[in-house]
A and B are shown apart, each in its own frame.
Chain A
């Protein structure tokens, strides 16, 4: 964990406040911490923490986001709201962690892990799944990283557009801060493989048309009411992929009550095999010693 943090720190040095300011469309109270999360597709969601959280991950959790540590590097935040769905969260894209002193201030890359950093009330916490870009800034994933596939990606959303209820309960709604253009361009090729496989060709074509129409509408609206238009874009086009990824990912997360998945056996099979092989090895050792 420490090594990972150091690597992140080294990467961070040139990244301090490179574009993007803490645009939080939701205003939290002075005692709360604003948490801005930008998913892979560019969709930005803002939440307010419940009171003054002790650590960055507490702020994330109490603002209504769920997260998972990387199983191999505990303490390294791997997924937020089950994004990315494929669990590849280290190279080259990862959840970068940012601070801003107040809404509208410039982002600063965190020099400390979210598990130990104590955000001050009234400040803004930023999370962005990218190659180290700040929330709202242009993507930094460029050279020699896997090229995004050129297919237009919007899919018909299987559920109603997710204005996350958890965030709504804390007195905020889903908003997009970065405007329409980054979220629409950055979207191509961001869908997880599962999501791609699920969508049918016809649905794709339909979705493409509707999404285009929505995007143009949103752009037209943006001239009059920027904040509202951005919200439309993020709610209609981008997070729908996220929900697909969510659906795929949440199925694969093991739960105690869930029956065993295909290709796996429950743990007591392993215990039996352990006793069998270990017992034989022990018996052979004892016999050989005589």
Chain B
């Protein structure tokens, strides 16, 4: 049976994989994680425009690694014993002490920099996978009800860009059919006006269509004035708590987890209470079935495997450069990576457009 998986499930899986990638600089593990993500995307992506964007994220990852290496050669700290590249070092004044411009490049430092770049690249690619697999419009539909109006506005604005491109293409085609030649910048004023008019027409059409379906109609249900204060206070508490969690040495103990949990519950309560005032039903809601739960569990399992491996044998999770040794493969991390690849087979295949009898 083909159906699209719930977008939140894909995001849960991708965040687990990204967390796992952030825990290691072992190039074997990072390479395996990338291959798992690639396998899942190759096997389970739809035919939508955003599904084809995965390639762009991979290219972005490659750019990250290359720029990391370039900056390492320029300003990085060079260490190691195996000389790769002999470069002159530019001396800097005292106030810039600690920054090394140029200098001989050694294999150890270069590999360490490449692995750090690879870690960031895999993280970006994991998030890119979620973007390729999950339909962003359906993701916005699963927002809490209090944020319903915000979600609607975002969906409308997200669909503007592709519509604009389509509109430009249509105007250009019409000009071409009329025999009006011309390219380059001179055409812009002649194309801009019809495109603008087209966009306005379309917006008015969309507005009336939404109004006919009941969007923007207000209920007279009372919304308490203090509810926004609760949510706002919760957000302030979350940021304070975050500060406490990230720097436990310099802030009082109560400022960490306690304030953070109070803030999170205040936010959740505020959103839930204001959601009760919004009467919205969802047309054909995305179901949450076993495959969704399993996908999220795979992401959590992947992160847990890496965490376990880091807890038991932290040295095997990083590339050892002193001395340079071949990376090891922790078994629990490997199990986590296999879990990350599982959604390629355990999820239902996505709905594909009908291509006619073959």
Instruction: List A residues at the B interface (Cβ < 8 Å).
Output: 1-2, 5, 68-69, 71-72, 74-75, 87, 91-92, 111-113, 115-117, 131, 143-145, 252-256, 260-261, 263-267, 269-271, 273-274, 277-278, 280-282, 284-285, 288
Contacts and interface: CB of A to CB of B under 8 A. Distances in A.
A271 B38 CA distance: 17
Interface residues of B, number: 49
Nearest to A273: B32
Question: Most B CB atoms within 10 A — which of A71, A72, A113, A131?
Answer: A71
B318 A266 contact: no
B123 to A, nearest CB: 14
Contact of A2 (B29, B99, B337): B99
Given A263-B312, A281-B35, 10 more contacts: A71-B112, A74-B113, A87-B315, A264-B331, A265-B330, A267-B329, A273-B329, A274-B28, A281-B42, A285-B38
A271 B32 CA distance: 9
Contact of A253 (B248, B315, B328): B315
A144 B322 contact: no
A252 to B, nearest CB: 6
A263 B313 contact: yes
B319 A71 contact: yes
Interface in B13-30: 25, 28-29
Contact of A267 (B79, B327, B334): B327
A87 B311 CA distance: 12
Nearest to A271: B28
A69 B323 CA distance: 11
24 contacts: A1-B77, A5-B98, A71-B25, A71-B315, A71-B318, A72-B318, A74-B113, A87-B314, A116-B97, A116-B98, A143-B249, A144-B248, A256-B325, A261-B316, A263-B332, A266-B328, A270-B28, A270-B31, A270-B32, A270-B329, A277-B341, A278-B38, A281-B43, A285-B38
Contacts of A91: 249
B77 A278 contact: no
Query: 9 tightest A-B contacts by CB?
Result: A71-B318, A270-B28, A281-B39, A75-B77, A277-B35, A278-B35, A281-B38, A270-B329, A284-B42
B120 to A, nearest CB: 12
Contacts of B99: 2
B199 interface: no
A72 B42 contact: no
Contacts of A260: 328
Nearest to A86: B314
A131 B253 CA distance: 18
Contacts of A1: 76-77
A274 B314 contact: no
Contacts of A270: 28-29, 31-32, 327, 329, 334
B35 A113 contact: no
